[in-house]
């Protein structure tokens, strides 16, 4: 009887250990899936003053990242209420009516950089130009 009790106890322990390993493997697979869901996007940012290119960079960012987050992390930027008014030390000039305008994939954007969530493949162009 003791022999059968020992065998039964060993089997229960073995099943418990295997079940624990299976749960750990499932948890690791779940973590990998969550990481894959936080998709990485590629965006291109160009900054120009007239015809002169100041910067041309490619960034990898997580889904949900705003344009403002990218700009503040990588360039010297000043902003007011989500609208960029100075990049790399070049400020808006109201007397000459010059300001930083930007396009995404060739289209003018009518929201502040803090509101625009980047999408994979976006091509952003900031250009210092006349607003007239």
pLDDT digits (tens, 9 = 90+) for 117-131: 999 999 999 999 998
Distance CA 53, CA 64 (A): 28
DSSP assignments along 81-122, one per residue: TTEEEEETTEE-BTTTTEEEEEEETTEE--S-TTT-B--TT-
Domain 40-130 listed as CATH 3.40.50.720: no
Instruction: State the pLDDT confidence band at 132, using cuts at 50, 70 and 90.
Output: confident
pLDDT digits (tens, 9 = 90+) for 68-79: 999 999 999 999
- In this prediction the pTM is 0.70
């Amino acid at each position: 009887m003791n022999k059968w009790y020992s065998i039964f106890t060993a089997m229960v322990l073995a099943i418990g250990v295997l079940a624990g390993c299976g749960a750990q493997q499932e948890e690791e697979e779940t973590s990998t899936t969550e990481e894959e869901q936080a998709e990485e996007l590629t965006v291109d940012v160009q900054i120009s003053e007239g015809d002169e290119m100041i910067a041309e960079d490619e960034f990898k960012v997580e889904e949900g990242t705003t344009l403002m987050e990218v700009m503040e992390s990588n360039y010297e930027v000043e902003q007011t209420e989500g609208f960029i008014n100075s990049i790399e030390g070049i400020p808006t000039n109201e007397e000459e009516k010059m300001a930083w305008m930007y396009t995404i994939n060739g289209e003018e954007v009518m929201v502040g950089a803090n509101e625009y969530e980047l999408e994979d493949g976006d091509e952003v162009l900031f250009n210092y130009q006349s607003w007239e």
